[in-house]
Amino acid sequence: MPELPEVEVVRRGLGPQLTGRTVAAVQVLHPRPVRRHLAGPADFAATLVGRTFDVPSRRGKYLWLPFTDGDAVLAHLGMSGQFRVDAPDRPLARNTRVVLSFTDGGQELRFVDQRMFGGLSLSRDGAVLPPEIAHIARDPFDPAFDLGEVGRRLRRRRTGLKRALLDQTLVSGIGNIYADEALWASRLHWARATDTLPAAAARDVLLAARDVMAAALQQGGTSFDALYVDVNGSSGYFSRALAVYGQADRPCPRCGTPVVRDSFMNRSSYRCPRCQRRPRSARW
């Protein structure tokens, strides 16, 4: 699943391609990506025509494309959703599901989704913040993100630390990859009980998450395969800089101890067993 850096890369790529452009036509090539638009694919296509895009927005992992009239297209990338920008005469990429063309006749916006877990939907009055995602917390890059308050809320939880970091109602944008990297940077075990954390440790792990996501953003995000690319089809390169995520049996960059893989919530969690020792007080 794309996390904050990957979604932000897409948002930045879409900005100059969409802002101020008016939709001329919409082709829905498969109905599943617009399944959340209950009036159906034909209505989804018709209701977008004639609208003008404003600057794309993001909160955490969630992306939306505002219109100047106050509505928005809410985009969920799922596991394999991509926005691609191509000239109208370019052949469609395999698994292209929705195509938007514009009144200026320039490059089209194409939504590509191999597995079709993602999708697009019209959000009424969603230009500032779609009501569908109003429950999502601010992310560490949001100017209104309150580090002290989020740290206090984190410490009031009675759960494991990684579970808390993945809770998008507490802090958004952090997924499995950047949670593991932030925990490694903070020397904290993923099962550490949140209510045992000192205030400084809570602050440090949130700052570490912000820092590692900022570093990933500079390298275009993290790509392990062709399912995540930017609007031009390019992959991100932060996978080359990962300290522990996906690095089982490789040496910890800090102490040289082989990284281990733990089972976590039907997924995997990676850590250095020396730098991130399992605490006596732990919660799964």
More confident residue, 223 or 267: 267
The mean pLDDT value of the chain amounts to 93
147-158 pLDDT, tens digit each: 999 999 999 999
Residue 270 phi, psi dihedral angles, 5° rounding? -115, 140
Cβ atoms of 18 and 109 closer than 8 Å? yes
Structure confidence at residue 19 as a pLDDT band (50, 70, 90):
very high
Task: Specify the pTM.
Answer: 0.92
- In the block, tokens 């281990």 appear at 260
Structure confidence at residue 230 as a pLDDT band (50, 70, 90):
low
Q: Are strands 119-123 and 72-76 parallel, antiparallel or unpaired?
A: antiparallel
pLDDT in the model for residue 87: 96
Tokens at residue 222, please?
A: 């993290």
- In the block, tokens 């034909």 appear at 42
Catalytic positions are: 2-3, 61, 267
Structure confidence at residue 162 as a pLDDT band (50, 70, 90):
very high
Find the length of the chain: 284
235-258 pLDDT, tens digit each: 676 888 899 999 999 999 999 999
176-213 pLDDT, tens digit each: 999 999 999 999 999 999 999 999 999 999 999 999 99
Structure confidence at residue 226 as a pLDDT band (50, 70, 90):
low
**Does the pLDDT at position 232 exceed 80?**
no
pLDDT in the model for residue 221: 81
Highest mean predicted confidence (pLDDT) among 113-117, 182-186, 266-270: 182-186
75-112 pLDDT, tens digit each: 999 888 999 999 999 999 999 999 999 999 999 999 99
Cβ atoms of 184 and 243 closer than 8 Å? yes
Percent of the chain with pLDDT over 70: 95
42-80 pLDDT, tens digit each: 999 999 999 999 999 999 999 999 999 999 999 999 888
pLDDT in the model for residue 211: 97
**Mean pLDDT across 127-144:** 97
